[in-house]
Amino acid sequence: MKVSRLAFLVFALLAALGLGAGTGYAQEDTVSDDRFTYFNGAAAVSDSTVLDGHSAHMANSSTGWNIQYQNWDFGTLRAGVLYDVYAKVKVKYANPAPTGNAFKMGLYDLTDASFSLPEKTVAAAQTQDGIWKEHKLGTFMPNSGVNSLSLYVGGTDNAGQISDIYVDAFIFREHSNYTIEDNLFYKFNGASLVPDGIAADGSAARMANGPGTGWNVQAKINGNRIEAGKTYKITAAVKPERADWKTSSGDIFGYLVYDLTTNSFLVNPTVVSSAAFPKVLYFDQVQIGSVTINPSHDVRVCFFPVDNAGNFPAIKVDSVTLTGQPEDESHAKSIHAYPYKLSPANHDGLNDSTQIVYALPSPQTVGVTVQRISDQTTVRTLTAPSLQSGNQSVVWDGKNDNGQYVDNGLYVIRVSNGTTDVLRTNVQVIAGVALAPSPNTVKNDVPKGIFYEAGAIPYDVTDAANYLDDTFGDIHQLGADTVYLANWHAKPAAVYSATLSKAAQNQIKVIGLPDAYTLFNEALYNDEQAMYEQIHSLVSPYLNNSALYAYYLADEPGNDLKMADNLKDIKRILEMIDPSRPALSTYVGIDRVPLHYDAQKPHVMNIDPYGVTEGSAIGDFRNIYHYPGFTFESYMDFASYQIRKDLKDDAPMWSILQTNESTGWLRNPTAAEIRAMTYEAIGHGSKGFSYFVYQTELDWIGIVDEHYQPTPDYYTVKTLFGEIETLKPTIRKMKRIANIATASGGGNSAYAAADVTTHVDTETGDKYLVVVNHDCLNAANIGISIDRAALGMDISAVTNMLDGTGIAFTATPTHYNISNLHLAPGDGKILKLTKDVAQVVYVGEDSAFYVNNGATKGQIDVSAGDGKTAMHAVTSSRTWNFQWFWDPTKLTPGATYDLYADVKIQYATDVYKDGSGVDRIFQPTGDAFSYGVYDVTANTYPVAEKRMSASSMENMFWHTVKIGTFVPSQTNTQVVYIMPWDNPGNVRQVYVDKFYFVKR
């Protein structure tokens, strides 16, 4: 290098400040010579052969990098997108037939002092005297960091052959793979071009199967579109025709790659069998192979038939694509900052700090500091010098050594041994996106949905409209009002608009996000402003479209902490841009549900609890997702707990229910099992009910078959949607609480009895029981016993909420009993327990409590009756932390009262791993709290103290606890108390919502 590193950095900074960051992104950007930096006599000169009248010139008398474009801010280019970069160069010959090398070019990271793209040398034989030519330097992602980069052209010290070098521009072109469309295919032996709405260009090459091995469809590779010596991965978009969706099997077609110039195979003939080909409604990308191709040769990707037309009459080939390997030719770095753009001062949880990760190949004594580039001032020492080796990481929170946030600008992270910087990387501190919380606009909704394969929507807008008319019309007739659009991407904008238009016409709400996959991009994760602009560009055409109900981000994201954080950022930015709609994902897995839900805090807990596994008996839902410690029921409670553990979280839970099979995992549920899972979803707190899946694809038999005719599940789901519609007003008001009833009957080999759950009406205080017959083979007459002490009220009626009919019951001093509740196989009912309005009730809310020893009151709790609760974190000591001194004048002298408390506890944990590493629901031991009534004046206990075991309390569900029955004094001071027990290994928190008297 001929110029000092400091000079490079300063030049790069000045150049970037002059350029600034744009919000309009370019597919192509030309950097002209007026933005170049010159060294060693290179300069701008007049040049009539270029449009702007001048170019950069250097004599070829050295090997210096004398013409450079230096920058760290490539804001005019799309973040996270690969660009091909070219240098537009001409040379002057000193010899009519020059030999040797003409010039060299490269991309150098000035911050890291390493090549980002390898230096390329251009031979004199590759040039023409005085003729401008674009020379490709390589492919890289300009917005993959904020390091200072230098694009350069240098000499070769070969002036006797090439005397002068001129550079007009560096050119960035958005990279695209080389795709050969079907209209360019060679077709033989009856193969032909046919219309196909699922193909991006509306057509495909069709090749019939049968006897013969002719290479009937051939895609010729244009040598001008590929580079010599480069390896290319070849894929083909293929869709077979199946004689029968379920049973067609065997060989489908064959492929090969052949060099006609050398008469040799580059990829040997290969036959694709049905075992290796997914059953999808769209074209699948078949991996043909990776090859190195001579651009001057006639090379073809060929497809040949197989003699299995009885199963697969034909195949269609839409396109063949060549992808350079590697696509991104930039070199890996030994130091990274994530994110490389941070916005710490706004405290919004979005890129507030950066983690610097670096690797040292051998032990060295190094420290890490942060230096402001503009004045070379060290603002923060992150680690003092110490002996380190291997992979290391350190976090910078954007503050200086005085604990103050640094100014916005460019900073360099230096890993230094005291005299030399071993590693360096830049980070940029920015103001960031101003996030604001969004309201939950769907918390009271009860959607009836269908999961829908949007990849099957044709690319042609007319074909798409016809397809959507048919399928959305059918879904409306089914009784659904919502569709989840999976794979809603890579379609023309007009098709997205048509999708929403047809949804509106058929009274359907859409959960989807066009081209959502473009957001899952490393550069966008690092740059919140670029992420904001990308999200805004995706959704802005549809912000005022009433058919768009919610945004769908990810289906079953994995156990990936970084992905969880990225989805959080996308979700928050989306809901800031459009606060009227929630952004949803579907969560699955004991490890993944809390990881993603806690990070993202969506407005809906959306889960897909598929309870019917292969090999399970009818009605046995105990092996959900191969978790031996979980059942369908406990898994749903586990999911809802992720909401309930946050007192301020008012998100509803929605369920996507199974109507499909999956070979090696799921068995297709029977109609009774679908019904049972639906009513159990209601019982365990779900507010939204969707079914997977509408179309038949893969090994899933959908609600409609491959010919879009109804399957038996269609009618089951239609009936259930009708029932849910009737029950919507009830479901909307139901809030799950601890169970108060037990069942006899309605069991099977997996369950002792019917499933019973309890809910409270959030408007009236009435209670509901959801009863589900676990026996999915036989009808059952079920008995229900309701604990009056746990119920906490007298009832005057029991009503079946589906049809409004009354249910007979009997009463004893301790229980209400329902006999012979008849339920069909797998059937469920919602029973309303109407409280006796003649009861006299006196309530003491937590605001009237006396709390001590760390207990607090007035804590926001959306599940509490008045929205607030008293709480205490359990410790190793115990006292009467919750006390209520009631007003005796509110009670009738001499009358007998039942005294109750609404209490819930939080277990010390929700899940643990047993000795075999299996996830299990935590079962607490010991006592949770004790309770009683104390007469302060008489120093007696009108109600003796009792203990409540932790195991008798469900985790984070409100329980009504009967304190006791007594005659309150009109003269003495009396107090009811709850004393959290000293059991922190089993119980984390105790909450008390209220005490209340009921006059007997």
Domain that holds residue 222: 178-325
Give the separation between CA 476 and CA 654, rounded to whole angstroms: 20
**pLDDT class for 197, splitting at 50, 70, 90?**
very high
Out of 15-24, 349-358, 676-685, which region has the weakest mean confidence (pLDDT)?
15-24
CATH code, domain carrying 402: 2.60.40.4070
Q: What is the CA radius of gyration of the chain?
A: 35
Distance CA 410, CA 886 (A): 64
d(CA 1000, CA 892): 11
Confidence of residue 583 (pLDDT cuts 50, 70, 90): very high
Q: Does any domain span residue 442?
A: no
pTM of this prediction?
0.92
Task: Quickly state the pLDDT bin for 24 (edges 50, 70, 90).
Answer: low
Residues 149 and 277 both lie in one domain: no
746 inside domain: no
In 33-161, where do the E strands start and end?
37-38, 43-46, 54-59, 67-71, 83-93, 101-109, 114-123, 133-140, 149-154
pLDDT at 213: 87
For strands 583-586 and 548-555, give the pairing.
parallel
pLDDT of 26 > 50? The answer is: yes
Tens digit of each residue's pLDDT (9 = 90 or more) over 498-511: 999 999 999 999 99
pLDDT for res 164: 98
pLDDT range class, residue 939, cuts 50, 70, 90: very high
Predicted confidence (pLDDT) at residue 286 exceeds the cutoff of 70: yes
Question: Average pLDDT for residues 201-226, to the nearest whole number?
Answer: 96
Residues 51, 151: one domain? yes
The pLDDT tens digits for 109-159 are 999 999 999 999 999 999 999 999 999 999 999 999 999 999 999 999 999
> For the chain, what's the residue count?
1000
Two structure tokens written together for 708: 């879009």
Name the nearest CA neighbour of 929 among 886, 863, 987, 871. 987
* Cβ contacts of 715 within 8 Å, gap of 6 or more: none
The pLDDT confidence band at residue 16, using thresholds 50, 70 and 90, is very low
pLDDT of residue 698: 81
**Residue pointed to by tokens 């070969």:** 158
Cβ pair 982, 878 in contact under 8 A:
yes
Contact criterion met (CB below 8 Å) for 761 and 755 = no
Read off the CATH number of the domain in which 810 is found. 2.60.40.1180
CATH number at residue 40: 2.60.120.260
Residue 638 is inside which H or E element, if any?
helix 632-644
- Contact call for residues 624 and 681 (beta carbons, < 8 A): no
- pLDDT, mean of residues 777-784: 98
pLDDT digits (tens, 9 = 90+) for 431-455: 999 898 899 999 999 999 999 999 9
> Within 10 Å of residue 673's Cβ, how many Cβ atoms?
26
Within-domain flag for 465:
yes
The pLDDT-based confidence of 626 (bands split at 50, 70, 90) is confident
Rounded-to-10 torsion of CA 52, 58, 63, 68: -30
Q: Can you tell me the mean pLDDT for 205-232?
A: 96
813 in the same domain as 894: no
- Please report whether residue 375 resides in a domain: yes
Same domain for 163 and 199: no
SS3 for 355?
Answer: strand
Residues 517 and 392 in one domain: no
Domain boundary among 174, 197, 222: 174
Contact (Cβ atoms closer than 8 angstroms) between residue 388 and residue 437? no
Q: 820 and 855 share a domain?
A: no
pLDDT reported for residue 212: 87
Q: 439 lies in a domain?
A: no
**DSSP 8-state class, residue 569:** H
Please check the confidence at residue 5 and state whether its pLDDT lies above 60: no
Count of structural domains, the chain: 6
The rounded Cα 163 to chain-centroid distance in angstroms is 58
**Averaged pLDDT, 387-392:** 96
Cis status of the peptide bond prior to 326, with omega within 30 of 0: yes
Distance from C-alpha of 410 to C-alpha of 374, rounded to nearest angstrom = 7
Q: How confident is the model at residue 13 (pLDDT cuts 50, 70, 90)?
A: very low
Lowest mean pLDDT among 603-612, 700-709, 755-764: 700-709
Distance CA 270, CA 253 (A): 9
DSSP 129: B
* Cα separation, 236 vs 564, whole angstroms: 33
Cα angle vertex 571, ends 568, 575, to 5°? 140
Mean pLDDT of the chain: 95
pLDDT at 23 exceeding the cut of 60 = no
872 in the same domain as 895? yes
Counting residues of the chain whose pLDDT is more than 70, the rounded percentage is 98
Tell me, yes or no, whether 76 and 163 share the same domain.
yes
Strands 856-860 and 815-823, bridge-based pairing = unpaired
Under 8 Å between Cβ of 577 and 539: yes
Token output for 20: 């600034």
Assess if residue 610 is contained within a domain. yes
Instruction: Give the C-alpha separation, 159 to 145, whole Å.
Output: 37
Burial 777-805 (b: 16+ CB within 10 A, else e): eeebebbbbbbbbbbbbbbeebbebbeee
Q: Which of 325, 358, 383 is the last residue of a domain?
A: 325
Domain boundary among 807, 835, 863: 835
Report residue 548 as tokens. Answer: 């768009």
Within-domain flag for 292 = yes
Confidence of residue 376 (pLDDT cuts 50, 70, 90): very high
The answer, yes or no, to whether residue 8 has pLDDT greater than 90, is: no
Do 268 and 381 reside in the same domain of the chain?
no
In sequence order, what are the residues at sequence separation of 6 or more whose Cβ sits closer than 8 angstroms to the Cβ of residue 375? none
Cα 613 to Cα 378: distance, rounded to the nearest angstrom: 60
Query: Do 348 and 290 belong to one domain?
Result: no
Q: 283 and 138 share a domain?
A: no
Looking at the predicted structure, is the pLDDT value of residue 352 above 90?
Answer: yes
- What would the pLDDT profile of 28-87 be if each residue is shown by its tens digit? 999 999 999 999 999 999 999 999 999 999 999 999 999 999 999 998 999 999 999 999
Q: Which amino acid is at 789?
A: A
Spatial CA neighbour of 710 closest among 507, 504, 512, 450: 450
**Residue 557 and residue 599: Cα distance in Å, rounded?**
12
DSSP H or E stretch at residue 978: strand 974-980
Clarify whether residues 116 and 42 are in a common domain.
Answer: yes
Residue with tokens 């001071």: 973
Chain Cα centroid distance, residue 681: 23
Q: Which residues contact 420 (CB under 8 A, 6 or more apart)?
A: none
**Domain CATH code at residue 603:** 3.20.20.80
In this prediction, residues 708-723 reach a mean pLDDT of 97
Rounded Cα–Cα distance for residues 944 and 963 (Å) = 9
Question: CB–CB of 234/301 below 8 Å?
Answer: yes
- Read off the pLDDT of residues 451-499 as tens digits, 9 standing for 90 and up: 999 999 999 999 999 999 999 999 999 999 999 999 999 999 999 999 9
Q: Would you say residue 555 lies in a domain?
A: yes
Preceding amide of 278 cis, omega within 30? no
| Strand ranges (E), 243-313 | 251-259, 264-273, 284-292, 299-304
CA dihedral sign, ordered 587, 593, 595, 599: positive
Confidence of residue 7 (pLDDT cuts 50, 70, 90): very low
Please enumerate in sequence order all residues whose Cβ is within 8 A of that of 205, keeping only pairs 6 or more positions apart, or say none.
182, 185, 187, 191, 192, 193, 194, 217, 316, 317, 318
Q: Is the pLDDT of residue 14 over 50?
A: no
Annotate 388-417 with DSSP letters as a single string: EEEEEEEEE-SB-TTSPBPPSEEEEEEEE-
Which neighbouring-strand residues pair with 345? none
